[in-house]
Amino acid sequence: MLQTAFNGLVTGIIIALPSLAITLLFGVLKFPNFAVGAMMTVAAYMVYAVNVQLGWPLLPATAAVAVAFGLLCIAIDHVTFRPLRDRGGITLMVASLGLGFVLENVARFAYGNAARSFAIELARPFRFFDIRMNREQMTAMVVATLAMGLMYVLLTRMPVGRAMRAVADNPSLALVRGIDSASIIRWTWFITGVLLAVGGVLIGMDRALEPPMGTSYVIAVFSAAILGGLGSPLGAFVGALLIGLVSELATLVIPPNYRIGIPLCVIALVLIFRPQGIFGQMYIRR
Amino acid sequence: MIDFIILMGTVVCFSAILALALNFQWGLGGMVNFGLAGFYALGAYSCALLMLKGGFNTFFATLGAMGIVALVCGLVALVTLRVTEEDYFAIVTLGVGEMLRLVALNEDWLTKGALGLTGIPRPLGELIPAPVYLYFMLALSLVLVAACVWVLGRLSRSPFGRVVRAVREDDVVAATLGKNVLWARVRIFAIGGALIGLAGSLHAFYFQYIDPTQFSTIVIAYAFMAVIAGGRGAHVGTVAGAAAVMLLLEGSRFAKELVPGLESDQLAAVRIIIIGIGLIMLLIYRPHGFMREYRLQVPLKDSLGQARSQPPKEAPT
Amino acid sequence: MKGFSRRRMLKTIGAAVAAPIGAPFLNLAHAQGSTIPIGVALPMTGNAGAYGPDMGEAAKRTVEMINKAGGILGGRKLELIIEDSESSASVAANLSQKFINVHRCQALVGYWGTPEGMSSRPIAIQNKVVLMVSSAANAITEGNTEGYVWRFQMKATDWGIVISRATEQSLGFKSVGVMGLQNAFVLPIMRVFEERMKALGRTVVESLVYNPEQPSYRAEVQRVFGKKPDAVFCFGLLPDFVSIMREVYRGGFDSKVVALSIAADSEGKFVNAVGADVAEGIRHFQPMPDVSAPGYKRFLKLMGAPADRVYLFPPNTHDQIAIAALAMEKAKSPMAVDWSKQIIPVGNGPGEAVDDVIGALEMVRSGRNVNFQGAGSTCDFTPNGDQIGRGMGQWIIKGGKSVFVEYAKP
């Protein structure tokens, strides 16, 4: 049972970064980005290209791609979402659905359907009390926690982060205060890109790389963000860990092939009992 | 060749009904249904199982399927709409749709899982001889599409339709006017669900074999494209949009002959990429599609017979 | 929105309709009557998308070879129409209709997945056109196929029989775990296998089914491998098997793993994806061509592949086209209603055994009887369309390469 709980933590860590990205995007840009899964897929393949085809070790490959992908996200936003900015969240959401299809199939176009892996050594586990864990999982935990820490610093201490929160809270007031919302949006997308690139690598380390890999996480990611409270970064992290834990622990009682239903139930319960999630705030959107 | 056109025409018809359902739920009612594929599967499987296991004939099985999907949609709307955020609604419907597909895949005592259900009877299949059956099927489908357009058109123009549009535009105002917002939305979603059930039943009759692979998420993209191309809220336009999308899809298979040099799996990926890009471009450049909701078509002369100087401003989406 | 009237919209729709409808008339008008069209539906996308491209390549090369040698039926060339079935039943059904009604195909080949075969079967029978599938699920040839449905693969239940017999005879596992992908051909295999294990007195510690494209398989691996059986039999496809084996390795589980070759080999893609360490010791089974047969060796040369390459499915596609061509030649007619009756005569004989389709065509033209031995199998059929005489190969992965163990029949 402890092992299952640990597995749940691992699963949760993997969805923590995309949940964070979703919650940031939602906070600043006010729409749920359904392309999040496909974006991670594309980023993961980009890392694959640098790691396997160019031969760089995984860490520098990830760093390089994270920056490149952040810039790519800015470009994607410019082409796809900016023209739709004033149309409202629903239109942006539908556009993100279309974008998801495009990105997943770009990956398929470039790399075909066969499953691949990064060029890293898979490690045998070591035992810590009664729990098996391995180096990759430890790396994932460290990376995700670091990312969270950095995000926290960014959002609370650095001007860019504070500006992002201002725009998220009240865009017109932020404008009055002289915050350039276009620049903030670009920063948001850049950070999103970095988060999703790292998230994609964590997924690619966990399981096979194939075109549909990211899309299978969409429901869990959204569930984590909603549970934690859309718009709250800490909530995204906590929500992700909780979703991971509950999903894995639930397999002790329900058949494992239905565990995708857990995030869904969580969403339903959250919406019924506490729609703002754990850390979010109720707000009226007008 | 003619036969193929007839068959594709039938496919267009039930795709059009599916698009009409989405149009009603989203275009008119403002509720995004990302779980469309799952509800579609529910409709097809309900109809098939009612016939194969329940022994109902095609007519009652269709009604049953419509009822089941309407009920499930209504429940989903009821549970979710305590909070009116449309964004949450989309993710919930996505999740429900996925669960429905999973149930179809895994509960093989009921649905025969991945193997699927075969030998599904068709309406009047016994009575009409095989060579002419496809004409009958097309005629029946066209009649059903026309009936749906008529019913939805009447609903849109009715007091209920006005409530629906009021709720979509501004639900706080609608509530202050005493309209029961929640109940209106539940009904909208349920009516859309009934149409999805009808489309699913036709799908089952047409292919006579259903399995989970037929109801994948790409169905949603096609339906959204049809609705957006045809104009959110416009029923006839939606049908035309569905026809255009289906024809483009099937037509692009023919176009393969014209594009050498790509592997088949790359070509298949390209088709979906084009669909996705098409969807985004439609949203950017033709958000009202090619036809409009009826109420926005204002006569050029006002009630006094004098010409207007300019068309009035359109309402925001 | 000014200016975009209903009229323009109707014109646009009209153009959209005319273009795709017109295209085949432009393309095929000159071809009607001179080439013989064969429809090929293969999964290029979807969860079986990894397997389609090679089968398509085999089909292309086979047809090229036949056409270069003069075609059939007095110099008529074969023409392939290859389409992506998207691993979907409804797409395959639409494709079958298109092949039959638009391209006038009398032979539909490929059809790797069970749903594609199942949905196209009634269409083929109704239109009196031959459907040749490469799928395993028993249901495809059940009932009355009127001689129009032919399976170029081993039946699913037979797979379970061979695997369990190998386990009984040589592998000696006392306790086993079973996990399978929710897929139409896997479940019958699992069922037969489990029944026989129990009948042989072995313990089945856990048996579960998982879905395709799950984010992670950690819980499933924990559940099955956590009970520490001697071996776990995993019946899945490549992507999920890669994820599962990574999980198994990282979890430090010791049970031996037995799988199907479409997952554990897939022409080397599995070892590429997980690395030699993870793959070490995995056994895999798959109905396979008899790689020592001359027909298979000839096929390798056709594909330009090295002598140790094991192709699981492409040889079937080659055989499908070869048998169709031979049957047409023997019946002296391209119409399936005629040549479907000649499939058993050219495949089973009696006649001279020949594995080269060009040579066989010449023999048939000169009136001699042949017994075609294909690349994928000896192409001997039962009256209801199943292939007999196929065997399964067993391999074990050592040092990053699959080492052949034995070849067994049900």
What is this model's ipTM? 0.81
Note whether B280 contacts A93, CB cutoff 8 Å.
no
On average, the pLDDT of chain B sits at 80
Residues B130/C128, Cβ–Cβ less than 8 Å? no
Amino acid at A141: M
- CA dist., res. A43 & res. A66, Å (int): 8
**Residues whose CB falls within 8 Å of the CB of residue B30, separated by 6 or more in sequence, listed in order:** A90, B86, B167, B168
User: What is the pLDDT averaged over residues A62-73?
Assistant: 93
- CA dist., res. C334 & res. C319, Å (int): 17
Residue indicated by tokens 């031995």: C373
- CA dist., res. A266 & res. A263, Å (int): 5
Residue indicated by tokens 């949760």: A12
- CA dist., res. A267 & res. A260, Å (int): 12
User: What is the pLDDT averaged over residues B169-181?
Assistant: 72
Residues A257/A29, Cβ–Cβ less than 8 Å? no
Amino acid at B114: A
- CB nearest A208 (choices: C53, C210, C273): C273
Span B74-127, pLDDT tens digits: 988 887 776 556 667 888 888 888 889 888 888 878 888 877 888 888 887 777
**Residues whose CB falls within 8 Å of the CB of residue C160, separated by 6 or more in sequence, listed in order:** C188, C189, C190, C191, C192, C193, C196
Amino acid at B157: R
Note whether B85 contacts A83, CB cutoff 8 Å.
no
Measured in angstroms, the CA of C274 and the nearest CA of chain A are apart by: 6
Nearest CA in chain B to A266: B92
C-alpha dihedral sign at C28, C34, C38, C44 = negative
Residues C237/C48, Cβ–Cβ less than 8 Å? yes
Residues C314/C262, Cβ–Cβ less than 8 Å? no
Note whether C89 contacts B116, CB cutoff 8 Å.
yes
- CA dist., res. C135 & res. A128, Å (int): 46
Contacts of A89 in chain B (CB under 8 A): 86-87
- CA dist., res. A178 & res. A174, Å (int): 7
Long-range contacts of A180-184 (CB under 8 A, 24+ apart): A184/A28, A184/A160
- The pTM (predicted TM-score) of the whole model is 0.82
Region of residue B257 (phi > 0: left; psi between -120 and 50: alpha; otherwise: beta) = alpha
Residues A116/A107, Cβ–Cβ less than 8 Å? no
Amino acid at A11: T
Residue indicated by tokens 């929640």: B182
Element (H, E) at A267: helix A261-273
Which range, of A232-246, B188-202, C38-52, averages the lowest pLDDT?
A: C38-52
Nearest CA in chain A to B169: A286
What residues of chain C, 221 to 250, have a C-beta less than 8 Å from chain A?
222-223, 226, 238-240, 242-243, 246-247, 249-250
Measured in angstroms, the CA of A282 and the nearest CA of chain C are apart by: 31
Residue B301 DSSP SS3: strand
- CA dist., res. C376 & res. C367, Å (int): 25
Measured in angstroms, the CA of A270 and the nearest CA of chain B are apart by: 10
Contacts of A121 in chain C (CB under 8 A): 275, 277
Is the pLDDT reported for residue B69 higher than 50? yes
- CA dist., res. B311 & res. B313, Å (int): 7
Residue B178: count of CB within 10 angstroms of its CB: 6
pLDDT for res B133: 83
- CA dist., res. A208 & res. A206, Å (int): 7
Pick from C136, C138, C208, C198: which is nearest to C164 by CA? C198
Nearest CA in chain A to C215: A216
Pick from B244, B5, B297: which is nearest to C10 by CA? B244
% chain A with pLDDT above 90: 25
* C-alpha separations of B140 from A102, B121, C31 in Å: 36, 15, 35
Is the pLDDT reported for residue C26 higher than 50? no
Cα-to-chain-centroid distance, residue B167? 21
Element (H, E) at C386: none
Note whether C50 contacts A3, CB cutoff 8 Å.
no
Measured in angstroms, the CA of A18 and the nearest CA of chain C are apart by: 14
- CA dist., res. C39 & res. C96, Å (int): 8
Is the pLDDT reported for residue A273 higher than 80? no
- CA dist., res. B204 & res. B104, Å (int): 14
Note whether A272 contacts B85, CB cutoff 8 Å.
no
Span C326-364, pLDDT tens digits: 999 999 888 989 999 999 988 888 888 888 889 888 898
Span C146-173, pLDDT tens digits: 889 999 998 888 888 888 888 888 787 8
Instruction: Indicate the pLDDT class of residue C252, thresholds 50, 70 and 90.
Output: confident
Is the pLDDT reported for residue C382 higher than 60? yes
Measured in angstroms, the CA of A286 and the nearest CA of chain B are apart by: 9
pLDDT for res C24: 46
Pick from B21, B4, B17: which is nearest to B191 by CA? B21
Q: Is A108 on the interface with C (CB under 8 A)?
A: yes
Residue C213: count of CB within 10 angstroms of its CB: 14
Span C86-130, pLDDT tens digits: 778 888 998 998 899 888 999 999 999 888 898 899 899 988 999
Measured in angstroms, the CA of B102 and the nearest CA of chain A are apart by: 7
- CA dist., res. A224 & res. C125, Å (int): 50
Residue C358: count of CB within 10 angstroms of its CB: 15
Is the pLDDT reported for residue B252 higher than 80? no
Which range, of A55-59, A157-161, C241-245, averages the lowest pLDDT?
A: A157-161
* C-alpha separations of A106 from A111, B228, C49 in Å: 9, 24, 15
Beta bridge partners of A166: none
pLDDT for res A131: 78
Residue A47: count of CB within 10 angstroms of its CB: 28
Q: Is C214 on the interface with A (CB under 8 A)?
A: yes
Beta bridge partners of C76: C72
Strands C370-372 and C203-210: unpaired
B111 or C61, greater pLDDT: C61
Chain A adjacent subunits, 3+ CB pairs under 8 A: B, C
DSSP B139-201: HHHHHHHHHHHHHHHHHHHSHHHHHHHHHHH-HHHHHHTT--HHHHHHHHHHHHHHHHHHHHH
Span A100-158, pLDDT tens digits: 999 999 998 898 877 888 887 777 777 777 777 877 788 888 888 888 888 888 887 88
B301 or B145, greater pLDDT: B145
Residues A26/A189, Cβ–Cβ less than 8 Å? no
Q: CB-hemisphere CA count at 13 Å for B90? A: 21
Q: CB-hemisphere CA count at 13 Å for A262? A: 26
- CA dist., res. A87 & res. A97, Å (int): 16
Beta bridge partners of B239: none
**Residues whose CB falls within 8 Å of the CB of residue C291, separated by 6 or more in sequence, listed in order:** C297, C310, C393, C404
- CB nearest B114 (choices: C93, C102, C182): C182
- CA dist., res. B227 & res. B279, Å (int): 10
Q: Is A173 on the interface with C (CB under 8 A)?
A: no
- CA dist., res. C56 & res. C38, Å (int): 12
**Residues whose CB falls within 8 Å of the CB of residue C68, separated by 6 or more in sequence, listed in order:** none
- CB nearest B265 (choices: C8, C84, C90): C84
Measured in angstroms, the CA of A274 and the nearest CA of chain B are apart by: 10
- CA dist., res. C15 & res. C20, Å (int): 9
Residue C130 DSSP SS3: strand
Residues A216/A62, Cβ–Cβ less than 8 Å? no
| SS3 track for A186-229 | HHHHHHHHHHHHHHHHHHHHHCCECCCCCHHHHHHHHHHHHHHC
B183 or C50, greater pLDDT: B183
Query: How many Cβ pairs closer than 8 A exist between chain A and B?
Result: 130
- CA dist., res. C72 & res. C358, Å (int): 10
Residues C109/C80, Cβ–Cβ less than 8 Å? no
Contacts of A123 in chain C (CB under 8 A): 250
% chain A with pLDDT above 70: 98
Q: CB-hemisphere CA count at 13 Å for C407? A: 11
Note whether A207 contacts C215, CB cutoff 8 Å.
yes
Contacts of B1 in chain C (CB under 8 A): 21, 24-25, 101-102
% chain B with pLDDT above 90: 18
- CB nearest C4 (choices: B114, B130, B290): B290
Q: CB-hemisphere CA count at 13 Å for C359? A: 12
Is the pLDDT reported for residue A67 higher than 90? yes
Q: Is A139 on the interface with C (CB under 8 A)?
A: no
Beta bridge partners of C397: C402
Tokens of A38: 């496909």
